[in-house]
Amino acid sequence: MKLCQPLFCLFLLLFLLLPPMAMAAGAMGPGVPIATVERKLWPDSLGSYPGFNRASRQEILAFGSELLVSEWLPADEWPARLGLERVDMLGMERYRKQTWLRLLQNYRLASKGCAQCPPVHSVASLRQLVSESQHPGTRYELWQQAAQRFYARYLLEQLRLAANFSSSSNEIDTLSPSEMTGNELLDGEFLLTFDDGPSPAGGSTRGTVAALASSGQNGVFFLLGDRLQARLKAKGGKKLASEYGDNCIASHGMSHTSYARLANWQESLQQSRNLLQRLEGVTRLSWFRPPFAERSPQMEGSVFRHLVLWNIDSLDHHSAMTPTLVRDRVLSLMLLWRKGIIRFHDSQPKAAQALPGIFAALHSTPVRWVDCHNFAAE
């Protein structure tokens, strides 16, 4: 039997030594370890095209190593590993196949103009490169150790979603081709989105809008109907709409509940739409983001034109996440996926505190922030 390469063996050992997740509903529940990382351990600047792509290649290889070693774990060990009573092994396999294809595309994009990069033409050749990857050097040693821990946990987050998708829909996959996830964007394109607002008057929504405006950016705010209704009672539609500045708004439903289990979901969505129409002077998108990404195929196009998910989750709503950890997690996942819809929450101040650092780190890189006005308004 051929022994694994030393670096690959380290990834395998780390993955197998991770503690099992606690039983919990949804993607992230009590006791589930979250993936965090410190970008300051990466010794090079991201602030150029070559610098961004160099870091992107290393993130792809680090995550690919964890993806590869996850295939070694026997099927009967996955329920305990993921904290689930039942595990959809076919769903996990589908996720792995889709992810290898995305990693292949991303590695090839990150290798353009790199004369020293080994040619990678297929998933098989990428898997081979991952399994034979050598340590990038002593300058990167601390980053390498942190990346191993980060991607071991991040992969468990993703596999847990994949293993649970058939019984409880989530953001890991689509129910129809017209659902938006971020994967339909071009390389380097990212759309900023914010859930669970509006906050109370003078709260974190205003700070998030200000953080975007100070950098000349905008995003899509998915509003909860019950919170919007409360704000409209205290403030007219025009005045409340003005608080969103150059941003766009869309629906997050009437309340933060699973719409997959809501009997009167159509009535609830129509009520949410009616409330959004009272905000005059702000761009409204005919988009619905279901809370927890739990939905049914019938919702697509019923009241709103598109169901909009995400492929990069900042986890800024998690109590363990500081603004710095939010910033660093988002930056690492942007390097890994190279395009996408990023989910923040304007119901608390972490997004506003993390955004300036994200914008600063990615100046003069291939990143292009998508203008929400590029999408058709309602």
User: Do 202 and 158 have their domain in common?
Assistant: no
Is 67 inside any structural domain? yes
Characterise 94 by phi-psi region: left (phi > 0), alpha (psi -120 to 50), beta (else).
alpha
User: Do 140 and 220 have their domain in common?
Assistant: no
pLDDT of 6 reads 53
User: Do 149 and 210 have their domain in common?
Assistant: no
For residue 236, what is the domain's CATH number?
3.20.20.370
For residue 4, pLDDT over 90 is answered with no
pLDDT of 16 reads 55
Contacts for 310 with CB less than 8 Å, ≥ 6 apart: 171, 181, 182, 193, 293, 340, 341, 342, 343
Element housing 193 (H / E): strand 189-197
Number of domains in the chain: 2
Domain-ending residue, one of 117, 147, 164: 164
pTM: 0.93
Domain-ending residue, one of 164, 199, 233: 164
Is 341 inside any structural domain? yes
pLDDT of 137 reads 74
User: Do 136 and 284 have their domain in common?
Assistant: no
**Which string of DSSP letters, residue by residue, matches 292-332?**
GG---GGGTTTSSSEEB--SEE--TTSTT--HHHHHHHHHH
User: Do 155 and 204 have their domain in common?
Assistant: no
Is 149 inside any structural domain? yes
**300 touches 269 (CB < 8 A):** no
- Quote the mean pLDDT of the chain: 92
User: Do 110 and 254 have their domain in common?
Assistant: no
User: Do 122 and 200 have their domain in common?
Assistant: no
235-249 confidence digits (pLDDT tens): 888 899 999 999 999
CA–CA separation, 98 and 94 (whole Å): 6
pLDDT of 10 reads 54
321-369 confidence digits (pLDDT tens): 999 999 999 999 999 999 999 999 999 999 999 999 999 999 999 999 9
Beta bridge partners of 369: 190
Is 182 inside any structural domain? no
Is 170 inside any structural domain? no
91-141 confidence digits (pLDDT tens): 999 999 999 999 999 999 999 999 999 999 999 999 999 998 766 778 999
Domain-ending residue, one of 118, 149, 164: 164
Is 177 inside any structural domain? no
Q: How far is the CA of 230 from the CAs of 149, 223, 233, 234, in angstroms?
A: 43, 12, 5, 7
User: Do 194 and 72 have their domain in common?
Assistant: no
The helix-helix angle for 6-17 and 49-69 (nearest 10°) equals 60
Report percent pLDDT > 90 for the chain.
85
Give the range of the structural domain holding residue 44, as residue numbers without chain letter.
6-164
167-178 confidence digits (pLDDT tens): 999 999 999 988
User: Do 252 and 353 have their domain in common?
Assistant: yes
User: Do 209 and 124 have their domain in common?
Assistant: no
Is 173 inside any structural domain? no
User: Do 35 and 112 have their domain in common?
Assistant: yes
19-67 confidence digits (pLDDT tens): 655 433 345 544 567 999 999 999 999 999 999 999 999 999 999 999 9
- Within 13 Å of residue 20, how many CA atoms lie on the same side as its CB? 13
User: Do 15 and 102 have their domain in common?
Assistant: yes
Is 179 inside any structural domain? no
Beta bridge partners of 377: 285
Beta bridge partners of 221: 194, 249
